[in-house]
Amino acid sequence: MALSRSRKVAAIGLLAALACGAGSSVTLASELDEFASRAATIDVNGHVLLRHGVSDFVLAHVGDVVAAGDTVRTGVGASAEITYFDGSSVSLESGSEIVVTSPRADGGVVQALGRAWHVITQLISGSSRYEVRGPSSTASVRG
């Protein structure tokens, strides 16, 4: 049975709309994945410095975005909290410094100085691991 010209045009239009919808879903998923690969510094109290990669330290502000390889340093009497996309967080006490190795809760940090409190809400899979590496030890949480 042959389709009429108007039905062919409608079918092609429907297929094109479905293809666009699938493409936008892929775009949305990649944008969400990119957003999830970052963490926002919040609750910055006092003199807190932020270094993106190997650039110079700058004064951190509430809402600054932290990515892999970034360093956060709190001054005397200062504190900062980094919150991951999934709600997990790291609270830095005065005189602390961490390097974010992966700004996802299934990644971790290198803690060079001071004290930090880590609250992990949920790791992504059973094989996921969150690590805090220090100068002389490593602590990890799995799955």
Q: Which of 20-24, 44-48, 76-80, 86-90 has the lowest mean pLDDT?
A: 20-24
Computed over every residue of the chain, the mean pLDDT equals: 77
Q: Which amino acid is at 92?
A: L
Q: What's the CA gap between 93 and 72, in Å, rounded?
A: 11
Give the pLDDT mean for 109-137: 81
For 45-70, the pLDDT digits (tens) are: 999 999 998 999 999 999 898 888 89
Give the pLDDT mean for 15-38: 51
* Radius of gyration in angstroms for the set of CA atoms belonging to the chain, rounded to a whole number: 22
Q: How many CB atoms within 10 Å of residue 17?
A: 10
Sign of the dihedral through C-alpha 22, 23, 28, 34: positive
pTM over 0.95: no
